């Protein structure tokens, strides 16, 4: 139920991904304390739109906290800052990734006639804007408890297992791509550039992981994924890949562009491998 | 009761199936992690509910709901929402019960995978039942629980679809949708296939499309927070788009 993707809306909304308001500050901060059989969440927020604050004060709108862990829950909050919300531990788990977000929803049809906080683009239009009952007015940032990602930046692990039925095997751990070698020799450990020499395995590993990502995260059996338009995957390896792709500016993933995506999210895997081979080859010639 | 957790990689163990069949898991320290939970006595309950017979289906679901409510619902979600916990319970603590109810799991590895170590998500019957009981206990007075459970069983296709997606996997929304379906006698219609709309795809059903419409409008229309009466007119409106 957490909403965190780029989208267009039929009416002006205060959020970080829309430009409908001059000042789009709506920031949520969540603190947590363990209260034995419950968690006590401390909810603080900063909202600068006088129009929306006024709507809350006049009960023309309500403030809700959305909590998403295994499922989605919402809690209607008092219209005041710094409140403590206790949630029983049999209703929420924090060891898994849990996200929080605030939304403000109208309780009646609301005219934007007196909404002076809107972007000047709407100046002439605003008296014609009405928001339906149960319409969204504002969406905050998402606050996350990421406590269970053990190694947020490590994507690969290496293992040796003499019992595998192939010389090399790509496996997926709970949050890593595991390269399993039948023989430790295949890791090139004797060579100075051993990491780069392993890059062909890294390439295959990334390719397999991205294809798996594509299979498990496409909605409605589409053959492609718009990176900024999908829900956060529950799988931790997929989450790492998603974050990586976002940071590296990947917009689209499909079966045709997997190689391009690898080029973007990694750092010259193949050319480094090439130079490592060249160097090793030359060293052996000199020796 | 002590529930020892299997080690994190248990699903990758080559011996899991054989050791389960030969009752060798419990005695083998290699199968276990260092973690364990000490919990009040837990009883097993019907945990695989793919019954074709309607009476059998209802009876088994109701039994599962009852035992989950009595034994499990007070346990922290950190435990009850963990696949590792449920698989440990079924493979070790409840091994005898599992084999007695489903003898095929010791002869057929696929049945074992499908029944005992089934992924813990919306397709898993324990997950389905656990959410239903939790939603009833958290939101409804005791006298309405059985009515809600019946609504879940009567509308399984819709319930499955609701708990499949994060937007609709919400206690209040699910309760309201099922109440609306029941009080308008829409159950049969909601699970039936839409025949005259080949543009929609192979197995489209009225109920799924209605939920899809709610999903599409979120978060512009914050339907989970709606009162039931407002939601009812919206639901009927969504439905009318597909009824020719």
pLDDT score of A19 more than 80: yes
Closest chain A CA to residue B132: A71
**pLDDT tens for the 244 residues of chain B, in order:** 889 999 888 998 889 999 999 999 998 888 988 677 889 999 999 999 999 999 999 999 999 999 999 999 999 998 999 999 999 999 999 999 999 999 999 999 999 999 999 999 999 999 999 999 999 999 999 999 999 999 999 999 999 999 998 889 999 999 999 999 999 999 999 999 988 887 877 778 999 999 999 998 888 899 999 999 999 999 999 999 988 6
Q: What are the residue ranges of helices labelled H in A63-198? A: 194-197
Closest chain B CA to residue A105: B222
Cβ–Cβ under 8 Å, residues B175 and B139: yes
Q: Which of A90, A159, A222 to mutate to test the interface with B (most CBs of B within 10 A)?
A: A90
Quote the pLDDT of residue A151. Answer: 53
More confident site: B117 or A239: B117
Nearest to A134 among B77, B78, B225 (CB): B225
Indicate yes or no: CB of A93 within 8 angstroms of CB of B81: yes
Nearest to B219 among A62, A93, A136 (CB): A136
Tell me which long-range contacts A181-186 makes (C-beta under 8 A, separation of at least 24).
A184/A160
Indicate yes or no: CB of B78 within 8 angstroms of CB of A89: yes
Taking residue B71's Cβ as centre, other Cβ atoms within 10 Å add up to: 17
Per DSSP, A157 falls in state: E
Each domain of chain A, given as residue ranges in start order, spans 26-145, 156-286
- Between the alpha carbon of residue A172 and those of residues A10, A41, A115, B88, B171, the distances in Å are 42, 35, 52, 21, 33
Q: DSSP E strands: which ranges in A19-162?
A: 26-34, 38-47, 61-68, 72-77, 83-88, 98-106, 110-111, 130-131, 136-145, 156-160
∠ Cα A101 A102 A105 (to 5°): 135
Residue A19 to residue A12: CA distance in whole angstroms = 8
CB-CB neighbors (< 8 A) of B163 in chain A: 71
pLDDT digits (tens, 9 = 90+) for A41-94: 889 999 999 999 999 999 999 999 999 988 899 999 988 888 899 999 888 887
Closest chain A CA to residue B222: A134
List, in order, residues 6 or more apart from A197 with CB less than 8 Å away: A188, A191, A273, A276, A277, A280
Sheet with A156-160: list strands edge to edge.
A156-160, A177-181, A168-172
ipTM: 0.88
Burial B1-33 (b: 16+ CB within 10 A, else e): eebbbbbeebeeeeebbebbbeeebeeeeebbe
Q: What are the residue ranges of helices labelled H in B116-240? A: 125-139, 145-154, 156-164, 171-183, 187-191, 206-217, 228-240
Nearest to A135 among B138, B172, B221 (CB): B221
* Residues β-bridged to residue A102: A65
* Residues β-bridged to residue B4: B36
Distance from CA of A131 to the nearest CA of B (A): 10
Pairing mode of beta strands A136-145, A26-34: unpaired
Pairing mode of beta strands A110-111, A98-106: unpaired
Distance from CA of B213 to the nearest CA of A (A): 14
Quote the pLDDT of residue A153. Answer: 57
Each domain of chain B, given as residue ranges in start order, spans 155-244
* Residues β-bridged to residue A105: A62, A136
Write out the H or E segment, with its range, that includes residue A240. helix A236-247
Indicate yes or no: CB of B220 within 8 angstroms of CB of A70: no
Quote the pLDDT of residue B133. Answer: 98
Quote the pLDDT of residue A148. Answer: 47
Indicate yes or no: CB of A11 within 8 angstroms of CB of B221: no
Quote the pLDDT of residue A101. Answer: 95
Indicate yes or no: CB of B225 within 8 angstroms of CB of A91: no
Nearest to B78 among A95, A139, A174 (CB): A95
| Chain A residues with a Cβ under 8 Å from any Cβ in chain B | 1-3, 9-11, 62, 64, 68-74, 76, 89-96, 103, 105, 132-136, 139, 171, 173-174, 231
List, in order, residues 6 or more apart from B36 with CB less than 8 Å away: B2, B3, B4, B5
Q: Which of A72, A164, A236 to mutate to test the interface with B (most CBs of B within 10 A)?
A: A72
Nearest to B77 among A93, A134, A171 (CB): A93
- B194 φ, ψ (degrees, to nearest 5): -85, 115
Indicate yes or no: CB of A93 within 8 angstroms of CB of B78: yes
pLDDT score of A287 more than 70: no
pLDDT score of A222 more than 90: no
CB-CB neighbors (< 8 A) of B219 in chain A: 3, 103, 136, 139
Residue B115 to residue B98: CA distance in whole angstroms = 9
What's the CATH fold of domain A26-145?
Immunoglobulin-like (2.60.40)
Give me the residue label for tokens 């059989």: A37
Write out the H or E segment, with its range, that includes residue A274. helix A269-286
Indicate yes or no: CB of A71 within 8 angstroms of CB of B220: no
Residue B82 to residue B67: CA distance in whole angstroms = 18
Pick the range with the lowest mean pLDDT from A134-148, A197-211, B63-77.
Answer: A134-148
């Amino acid at each position: 139920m957490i909403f965190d993707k780029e989208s267009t809306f039929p009416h002006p909304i205060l959020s970080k991904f829309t430009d409908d308001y001059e000042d789009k500050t709506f920031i949520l901060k969540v603190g947590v304390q363990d209260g034995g059989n419950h968690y006590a969440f401390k909810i603080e927020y900063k909202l600068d739109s006088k129009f929306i604050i006024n709507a809350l004060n006049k009960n023309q709108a309500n403030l809700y906290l959305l909590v998403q862990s295994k499922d989605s829950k919402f809690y209607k909050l008092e219209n005041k800052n710094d409140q403590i919300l206790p949630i029983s531990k049999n209703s929420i788990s924090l060891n898994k990734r849990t996200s929080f977000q605030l939304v403000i929803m109208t309780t009646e049809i609301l005219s934007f006639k007196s909404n002076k906080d809107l972007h000047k683009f709407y100046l002439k239009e605003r008296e014609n804007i009405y928001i339906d009952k149960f319409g969204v007015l504002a969406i905050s940032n998402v606050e996350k408890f990421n406590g269970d990602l053990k190694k947020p930046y490590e994507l690969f692990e290496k293992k040796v297992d003499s019992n595998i039925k192939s010389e090399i095997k790509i496996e997926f751990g709970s949050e890593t791509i595991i390269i399993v070698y039948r023989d430790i020799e295949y890791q090139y450990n004797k060579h100075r550039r051993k990491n780069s020499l392993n890059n062909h395995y890294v390439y295959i590993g990334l390719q397999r992981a991205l294809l798996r990502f594509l299979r498990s995260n496409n909605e409605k059996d589409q053959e492609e994924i718009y990176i900024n338009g999908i829900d956060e995957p529950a799988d931790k390896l997929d989450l790492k890949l998603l974050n990586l792709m976002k940071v590296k500016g990947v917009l689209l993933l499909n079966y045709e562009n997997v190689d391009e995506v690898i080029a973007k999210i990694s750092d010259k895997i193949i050319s480094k491998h090439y130079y490592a081979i060249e160097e090793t080859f030359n060293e052996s010639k000199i020796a | 009761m002590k529930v020892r957790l299997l080690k994190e990689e248990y699903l990758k163990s080559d011996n899991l199936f054989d050791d389960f069949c030969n009752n060798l898991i419990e005695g083998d320290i290699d199968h276990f992690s260092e973690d364990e939970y000490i919990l009040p006595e837990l009883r097993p309950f019907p945990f695989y509910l793919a019954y074709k017979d309607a009476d059998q289906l209802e009876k088994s679901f109701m039994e599962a709901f009852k035992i989950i409510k009595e034994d499990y619902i007070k346990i922290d979600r950190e435990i009850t929402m963990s696949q590792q916990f449920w698989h440990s319970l079924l493979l070790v603590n409840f091994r005898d019960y599992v084999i007695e109810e489903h003898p095929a799991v010791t002869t057929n590895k696929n049945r074992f995978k499908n029944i005992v170590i089934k992924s813990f998500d919306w397709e898993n019957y324990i997950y389905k039942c656990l959410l239903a009981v939790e939603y009833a206990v958290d939101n409804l007075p005791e006298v309405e629980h059985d009515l809600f459970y019946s609504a879940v069983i009567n509308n399984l296709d819709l319930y499955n679809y609701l708990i499949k997606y994060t937007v609709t996997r919400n206690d209040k929304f699910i309760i309201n949708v099922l109440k609306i379906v029941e009080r308008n006698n829409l159950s049969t219609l909601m699970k039936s296939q839409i025949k005259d709309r080949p543009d929609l795809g192979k197995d489209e059903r009225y109920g799924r499309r209605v939920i899809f419409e709610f999903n599409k409008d979120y978060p512009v229309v914050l339907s989970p927070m709606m009162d039931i009466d407002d939601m009812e007119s919206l639901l009927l409106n969504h439905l009318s788009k597909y009824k020719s």
